[in-house]
A and B are shown apart, each in its own frame.
Chain A
Amino acid sequence: MSEALEIISLTAVRRAYLAILLVGIPCAVMGCFVVLRRMAFIGDALAHTVLPGIVIAFLKGFHLFFGALVAGIITSFGIGWLSRRKEVREDTAIGILFTAMFALGILLMGQTGSFRDFEGILFGNILYLDRLTLQAMAVLGGLSLVLLASVFKEMELVSYDPSYAQTIGIKTEKLRYLLLLLLAFTVVGAIQAVGVILTSALLITPAATAALLTKKLPQMILLASLFALLGGWAGLTFSVFTNFPSGAAIVLACTLLFGLAYLYRSVFRQ
């Protein structure tokens, strides 16, 4: 057994496994819509754009989680507002806000005098989560799932036939804002687990893996959740026993599952 396991308390390990459950499922569910709506870029962007919020919270002495949450909400509405008309496409709006907010974050980090304070948030610190962070993860993840479930049939319809949805009176623009907001909630939770740089993998990879294996959305959501938990727990276990960075281990475990699914599909479905 590694030295690392001796140092890390059992409570911390238990919390880490629980955190995977709390962020893995919301990420997988939201990720299905992100993948199917071809918005994969947004997960990465949202994760990076919360940086200034985190730094401001650090400088003002707030919990970093709340800084990230506020920045995430501002970014999601900023993307929605900037791309509400056709003059600026959504991917362009994401690209502009993503780089601008990340640059602002780096600028503000310079004010703190130490980049080391943010190492956990950049690369993930799942083995060092406090109780409040875990509770916040549960609230945000639960809220995202409940809200999505309540508009599921409309969100599904808007995702493949927005014109028809509009003709029956569904406000597709409002649903887009809602999706962006729920994504912000999900991403902020996931950042605590795998860090800013690797968050989009938790959002995209399990959903993309599931998409290889099924052509029905409910099954895709179930499979994606299963892969997120499997990859998350496998990566975490590997990290605990080998002292390998946890965020990277989780993402690589998820990627391994994607590789296996890809192989399976290539061999058996052609």
Chain B
Amino acid sequence: MNYSGCQHPPPRPDAPPLRVHDLVVAHEGARQPALHGISLTVEKPERVALIGPNGAGKSTFLKAVVHLLKPRSGKIDLFGHSPGTCHHRVAYLPQRGELDWDFPVHLRRMVLSGRYVRHGWFKRPSEKDQQAVERVLALLCLEDLADRQIGELSGGQQQRAMLARALVQEAEMLLLDEPFNAVDDHTRKLLIKVLETLRQEEKTVIIATHEPELEGLPFDRIFPFLEGRLVSQTAPHRPTSSCAHE
């Protein structure tokens, strides 16, 4: 039984992975919205960046897309459906501080939780799931750390662990919140390699980052956020793209 309680619907034909229209989001208890009327569309298989300083609304935007925050108004469509119906198609990498790293769970099991969405309630992960986990651990050079408690990993390793969980989900769209934040050189290079692999696999990737230089990583489009608003849109590699509503 799926966590949403219903069958996962197939993507609607011609629907983009993400379409957001006039989105307004406020944090719980806050009067002022954190996002004001955001409209944008991300096509398959684009790689886009949400850039802006801390507090600009990038993370809030990603949280609204994955249904962690309820919009005050506006509409979000994922593959032509409302966000609550296609959890398995979207993988989310939160910021590192949002997880209890002291919890007694080891890396392999944490990564395995990325497969839960494919099974839902009462079903245990299969041998195939375990194999998928091992593949991703190897891809991110984490095999030797698989039996470590997650709190015993370094910052960069923890970042890779969360990315491993997002990858093992085999989602069609990945939302990565500050994946390059405070990581070592090795992890940074691995992340870039993984992003290139995802591009070859035609996955849609949205990255929130406050790093202006973007580490030389090519993006199809860049959405600059400032004070909860989408300022403008730049398209470094495809200037003629006109996917955004704004």
Instruction: Report A's interface with B, CB cutoff 8 A.
Output: 36, 85-87, 150-151, 153-154, 156-157, 159-161, 163-164, 166-171, 211, 214-217, 220
Contacts of A164 in B (CB 8 A): 92, 94, 99, 113, 165
- Which of B9-17, B116-124, B131-139, B192-200 has 4 or more CB atoms under 8 Å from chain A? B116-124
Our pick among A151, A161, A163, A167 for the contact of B87 (Cβ within 8 Å) is A167
A215 x B3 contact (CB < 8 A): no
Contacts of B165 in A (CB 8 A): 164
Main secondary structure of the interface of A (DSSP, over half): helix
Our pick among A159, A167, A214 for the contact of B92 (Cβ within 8 Å) is A167
Q: How far is the CA of A160 from the CA of B98 in the complex (A)?
A: 9
Q: How far is the CA of A87 from the CA of B30 in the complex (A)?
A: 12
Contacts of A85 in B (CB 8 A): 28
A170 x B68 contact (CB < 8 A): no
Given the known A-B contacts A87-B29, A154-B116, A159-B100, are A168 and B3 also in contact in the complex, defined by CB atoms under 8 Å? yes
By beta carbon, the residue of chain B nearest A219 is: B104
Q: How far is the CA of A167 from the CA of B121 in the complex (A)?
A: 15
Judged by a CB distance under 8 angstroms, whether B66 is at the interface is yes
B116 x A217 contact (CB < 8 A): no
By beta carbon, the residue of chain A nearest B3 is: A169
Q: How far is the CA of A36 from the CA of B104 in the complex (A)?
A: 8
A168 x B104 contact (CB < 8 A): no
Given the known A-B contacts A157-B116, A220-B104, are A167 and B3 also in contact in the complex, defined by CB atoms under 8 Å? no
Judged by a CB distance under 8 angstroms, whether B106 is at the interface is yes
Tell me the total A-B contact number using a CB cutoff of 8 A. Answer: 78
Instruction: Report B's interface with A, CB cutoff 8 A.
Output: 2-4, 28-29, 66-68, 84, 87-88, 90, 92, 94, 98-100, 103-106, 113, 116-117, 121-122, 124-125, 149, 151-152, 165, 169
By beta carbon, the residue of chain B nearest A152 is: B124
Q: How far is the CA of A68 from the CA of B113 in the complex (A)?
A: 37
Our pick among B3, B99, B152 for the contact of A161 (Cβ within 8 Å) is B99
B104 x A169 contact (CB < 8 A): no
B3 x A216 contact (CB < 8 A): no
A160 x B105 contact (CB < 8 A): yes
A215 x B67 contact (CB < 8 A): no
Contacts of A169 in B (CB 8 A): 2-4, 84, 87, 117
A215 x B149 contact (CB < 8 A): yes
By beta carbon, the residue of chain B nearest A86 is: B28
Min CB distance A270 to B, Å, is 15
Q: How far is the CA of A167 from the CA of B117 in the complex (A)?
A: 9
A166 x B121 contact (CB < 8 A): no
Our pick among B90, B99, B116, B152 for the contact of A153 (Cβ within 8 Å) is B116
Our pick among A36, A154, A161, A163 for the contact of B121 (Cβ within 8 Å) is A154
By beta carbon, the residue of chain B nearest A215 is: B149
Q: How far is the CA of A154 from the CA of B112 in the complex (A)?
A: 12
Given the known A-B contacts A151-B121, A157-B116, A164-B165, are A171 and B3 also in contact in the complex, defined by CB atoms under 8 Å? yes
For the complex of A and B, the 6 pairs showing the least CB-CB separation, nearest first, are: A169-B3, A160-B103, A168-B117, A215-B149, A167-B66, A169-B87
Query: Other than the known A87-B29, A151-B121, what 11 A-B pairs have Cβ atoms closer than 8 Å?
Result: A36-B103, A160-B99, A164-B92, A167-B66, A167-B92, A169-B4, A169-B84, A169-B87, A215-B149, A216-B106, A217-B103
Min CB distance A123 to B, Å, is 34
B87 x A168 contact (CB < 8 A): yes
